Amino acid sequence: MDRFVIEGGHRLSGAITPAGNKNAALPLLAAALLTDQQLTLRNLPDIGDVRIKLALLEQLAVHVQRHDANTVTLQALNLSDAVPDVALARRIRTSPLLAGPLLARRSRVTLPRPGGDVIGRRRLDTHFHALSALGAAVEVTPTSYILTCDKLRGADLFLDEMSVTGTEQAIMAAVLAEGQTIIGNAASEPHVQDLCNCLNQMGAKISGIGTNLLEIEGVSSLGGADFTIGPDFMEVGSLIGLAAVTHSELRIVGARPRDHRMSRIAFGRLGVTWRDDGDDIVVPGEQEMRVRDDLHGAIPKIDSAPWPGFNPDLISTALVVATQSRGTVLIHEKMFESRLFFVDRLISMGARIVLCDPHRAVVVGPAQLYGEPEGLPSPDIRAGMALVIAALCAQGRSVIHNIGQIDRGYERIDERLAALGARIERV
């Protein structure tokens, strides 16, 4: 099993380009099932979750042509009736996104239960409520989901939660449904916008992109497209946090600063600043890392929220940054009840954190972090990257195990950080 060996306490410098958005790539790969024409995706991240999703598509007889590590052309000309492989489907969270596109092409779909990060309960109810409203019959068994439908028909939907993948599911089912679909309480993250924009290039009729109310006029068929995926929002946030805690000047190329206005507010509460230079973000090397109290000296809070709020996938990074900022801050992760459980690893490194309950942690900084040579297990993608950031700012040597979790979401992160001067080695 591979692991990272990291020597912390060294400054980084240089420029780095974020990989393509993982959370856009996975639904876009599923969208290839909506047409029998070619869909070319560029800036596709070469990560574990994408490779698994491509393998699932190949099992469904989708022709996959790789032009290079980050460009692929897909064509679902003659779909098979195969059930997606259970072992593969349980290795990623987004395998249920195959449901809507497959229902649009055939009348029966069987999907195994998904896997993915263990960060608490991650309900799929929104997916199946939406598909049911569009005309699908849904049978839930202990191990799988069986969906049948003669024809999908448009409906007026109001989602029971602002679920990103639930919204994507409803969108992909609705674009080929008969009639109009309205999706209220829709998620509107940059990756949802990427999916909508690509589908419109393929001939879909989606309006309201970037808002919480989508209107979709169903069409009889979709064509092909050539689409470039935007930068990974979460990777940009991770790199901002890394630059801050290692006192490194980094240029994040093509970071799309307009997507990071709330991140600027949240990280700003910890004393982290940066400047926009065109489409780049430049984090300065010397910053006064100090918690900015609320009015009357009240302890500030960084909490997760649906877009355009602070993304929950950046909470783990913000928590590490807080350990290096002078002052006290409350970190509140509202969505997942197990995401903060990795803080015991940070405490073992010297962080001063009180875990109040599964959703809240009080951080008092700054704290000198020390390496963990005996090993830090990576529990999920985002916590794994947060541990890499902590190890790079810690004094001494750390070993991070279970890095397959990190590889699921961050493309060749060890090589790319090493190019900036990080002392990180995969062994």
d(CA 276, CA 282): 6
Share of the chain above pLDDT 70, in %: 96
Do 9 and 45 belong to one domain? no
Indicate if 161 and 59 belong to the same structural domain. Answer: yes
> Among 228, 245, 269, where does a domain finish?
228
Task: HSE, CB side, 13 Å, CA atoms: give it for residue 174.
Answer: 27
Q: What are 194-208's pLDDT values in tens digits?
A: 999 999 999 999 999
Q: Give pLDDT tens digits for 24-76.
A: 999 999 999 999 999 999 999 999 889 989 998 998 899 999 999 999 999 99
- Calculate the average pLDDT of the chain: 93
117 catalytic residue (yes or no) = yes
Short-list 103, 85, 104, 105, CA closest to 95: 85
Same domain? For 138 and 68 the reply is: yes
* Angle between the N-to-C axes of helices 233-245 and 381-393, in degrees from 0 to 180, rounded to the nearest 10: 20
User: Same domain for 222 and 250?
Assistant: no
Looking at the fold, whether 216 and 126 belong to one and the same domain comes out as: yes
pLDDT at site 115: 56
> CATH number for the domain including 244?
3.65.10.10
How many structural domains compose the chain? 2
User: Same domain for 12 and 90?
Assistant: no
Between the CA atoms of 323, 328, 332 and 338, what dihedral angle is there, to the nearest 10 degrees? 40
Same domain assignment for residues 219 and 271: no
User: Mind listing the pLDDT tens digit for each residue in 224-233?
Assistant: 999 999 999 9
Band (120; pLDDT cuts 50, 70, 90): very low
pLDDT at 91: 65
Residues 306 and 382 in one domain: yes
Same structural domain for residues 88 and 175? yes
* 390, two tokens: 């902590």
Does 363 lie in the same domain as 414?
Answer: yes
Query: Are 158 and 291 contained in the same domain?
Result: no
pLDDT of residue 159: 96
Q: Before 257, cis peptide (omega within 30)?
A: no
Q: Which of 211, 228, 245 is the last residue of a domain?
A: 228
Helices and strands (H and E) in the chain: how many: 14, 23
Domain with 97 in it? 22-228
Instruction: Please pick, among 49, 117, 259, 380, the residue that the annotation labels catalytic.
Output: 117
